[in-house]
Structure 1
Amino acid sequence: MKFRDRVKGFRRVAAKELLPHPENWRTHSRHQKGALRGVLREIGFTGAVIARELEDGRLQLIDGHLRAETAGAAEVPVIVVDLNEEEARKALLSHDPLAAMAGVDDRRAAELLAAVETESNDLRQAFAKIAAQIEDPGLDPFEGKDEVDIPASYQVVIEVDGEQQQEAVYERMRSEGFNCRVLTL
């Protein structure tokens, strides 16, 4: 099979410098955030986030939004790819679903689960869900839960006069350490 190698480089970049893709469609539960913090505490970064370089030289995330958000000001490994906006959208839409299509070797997964210990309660819960799904592949780990735990989220919406002002306000707030998203309504 022939394919193009779109990786143009590798860098270490302060996570807060990475721009989230405005069309990122993935959401992250409190449990997923906790499990990631557990992995980062116990192991650290073992892979790179993926970003494309914009015309102005800034890097826009395609994969790794939660890792970058969690890392804050710390430097993270970044694979820089040469994708235009349309290609970036395809990568953004396909990356996680392709990984989710992978099957499970129940025996190997059970052996791995038995061999791994963690200090993180959130990570332990994630491993327990894997174990439960091995026991009963039809099991929905969220079935029977009447309530959804939605953590408090405090936000401010700022109306601006155009794209340039929107970008300036966004950059200022990011430089002050706020997690920001750009919305155009």
Structure 2
Amino acid sequence: MKIKDRITGLKRIKAADLRPHPQNWRIHTQAQREALQGLLCEVGYADALIARQLPDKSYQLLDGHLRAETTPHTRVPVLVVDLDDAEAAKLLASLDSLASMAGSDPAQLDALLAGLKTDSAALSAMWEGMTSKVAEAIAPAEFKEIDETLETAYCCPKCGYRWSGSPGGAGDSDGDA
């Protein structure tokens, strides 16, 4: 697999001068804004925004919209990429989605969070929410495993959907719909 390096440089650009991508689909909650503000106050910038330069020499954001909104008067680190409209749209649609596909290791998360201290109530609330979301995603030990290779007795001739039970559905004792 050949992978192209599309990064043309790293620049410091005033965040207010970065134009939001008109197709940015992410919506940021107040809780997220406050958690980001807390992190920026306690840690600062440790990751670059991503933007592309347009023909009019302005820069269009592809990643980092909330960071730019949060610190409009700050010169922020920006990775400048050379992407056309279609490639920019692919990146915009994919970055957050790829990150959200990652799984979680609850023990590793607990160990990480156990040592963290913050003065930010928003960061603290975010971290507490992270542990509860991971806990919800894990089936309890007593959860009965289901054999997913069950044979099906019926098949819809129109769509091909397969199921077991009576052909007419729940409560159908004679098979009529």
TM range (shorter): 0.7 to 0.9
Greater strand share, structure number: 2
Percent identity for Structure 1 against Structure 2:
45
State the one-letter code of the partner of 1:125: A
**Which structure has the larger Rg?**
2
The 2-side partners of 1:45 and 1:87 are apart by 26
Task: Specify the alignment match of 2:82 in structure 1.
Answer: 82
Point out where structure 2 has 5 or more consecutive residues left out of the alignment: 140-177
Residue 172 of structure 2 is matched in structure 1 by none
TM-score (norm 2): 0.76
| Root mean square deviation of aligned Cα | 1.2
Report how many residues are paired. Answer: 139
Deviation for aligned residue 1:44? 0.4
Q: Match of 2:73, as an amino acid? A: A
| Structure 1: distance between partners of 2:11 and 2:135 | 42
* Residue in 2 that maps onto 1:113: 113
Q: CA deviation at 1:134?
A: 2.9
Asked if residue 9 in structure 1 is aligned to residue 6 in structure 2, the reply is no
> Alpha-carbon deviation of 1:138?
6.1
TM-score (ref. length: structure 1): 0.73
What is the match of residue 122 of structure 2? 122
What does 1:94-173 align with in structure 2 at a 5 Å threshold?
A: 94-137=94-137
**Secondary structure of 2:9's partner?**
strand
2:106 and 2:131 in contact (8 A); partners too: no
Flag the structure with higher helix content: 1
- Unpaired stretches in structure 1, ≥5 consecutive residues: 140-185
Instruction: Tell me the SS of whatever aligns to 1:117.
Output: coil
